[in-house]
C-alpha cells in the first residue's frame, strides 16, 4: 500500500486516524499520506445530504474573499497542521495536505480518486444520536468507496 488518504476534521476522530495508521504501518515503510479536509459551510444539519451542487457552488462563490471564508480556510489549515505534526512524530514524512469544499463524504471519495489512494482512513467517533439525526459521513464513505476504508475509533 503506497498511497493512503486520511480524512481530517480536527475532532478526536483525527487522532484516532493517526493511531490507526501507526498500528497498521508499524515496522513497514510508511506510505504517502494525503491529509484531506473538507470545508463545511455552516454547522451540521439534517439538510446536509439534501444540498445540491448548484446551491453549494453558489454559497462557495458568495463566501469567496470574505472574512468567513478566510476563517474557514484558517481552521482547515490549523487542523491539517496539527494532524501533520502528529504523523511526523510517528515517522510519517511523505505528507500532502489537501483542502476541498462541499459535502464531506463526496469530497473524501473524490479526493481518494483524484489522489489515487489505495486506502481511506476516516474517524468514526460520533454518537449514535448524531449519526441518526445528521447522517454518518464515515458510513457514506464506506458505502461509496472503490478502495478499502478503515474506520478509526
CATH code of the domain in which 106 resides: 3.40.50.620
Neighbours of 89 (CB within 10 A): 10
Is residue 32 within 8 A of residue 2, CB to CB? The reply is yes
Average pLDDT over residues 86-97: 96
Q: What is the pTM of this model?
A: 0.84
d(CA 77, CA 124): 21
Query: Which tens digits make up the pLDDT trace of 125-153?
Result: 666 665 564 458 888 999 999 999 999 98
Residue 69 has a pLDDT of 81
Domains contained in the chain, number: 1
Domain enclosing residue 51, as ranges: 3-152
Q: Residue 7 corresponds to which cell in the numbers above?
A: 480524512
d(CA 6, CA 67): 28
Percent with pLDDT over 70 in the chain:
79
Amino acid at each position: 500500500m503506497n498511497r493512503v488518504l486520511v480524512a481530517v476534521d480536527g475532532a478526536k476522530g483525527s487522532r484516532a486516524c493517526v493511531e490507526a495508521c501507526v498500528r497498521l504501518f508499524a515496522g513497514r515503510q510508511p506510505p504517502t499520506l494525503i491529509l484531506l479536509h473538507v470545508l463545511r459551510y455552516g454547522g451540521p444539519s439534517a439538510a446536509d445530504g439534501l444540498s445540491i451542487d448548484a446551491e453549494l457552488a453558489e454559497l462557495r462563490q458568495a463566501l469567496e474573499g470574505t472574512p468567513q471564508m478566510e476563517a474557514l480556510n484558517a481552521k482547515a489549515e490549523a487542523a491539517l497542521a496539527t494532524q501533520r505534526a502528529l504523523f511526523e512524530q510517528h515517522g510519517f514524512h511523505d505528507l500532502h495536505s489537501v483542502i476541498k469544499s462541499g459535502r464531506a463524504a463526496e469530497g473524501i471519495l473524490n479526493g481518494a480518486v483524484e489522489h489515487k489512494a489505495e486506502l481511506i482512513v476516516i474517524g468514526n467517533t460520533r454518537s449514535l444520536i448524531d449519526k441518526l439525526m445528521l447522517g454518518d459521513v464515515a458510513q457514506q464513505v464506506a458505502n461509496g468507496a472503490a478502495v478499502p476504508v478503515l474506520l478509526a475509533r
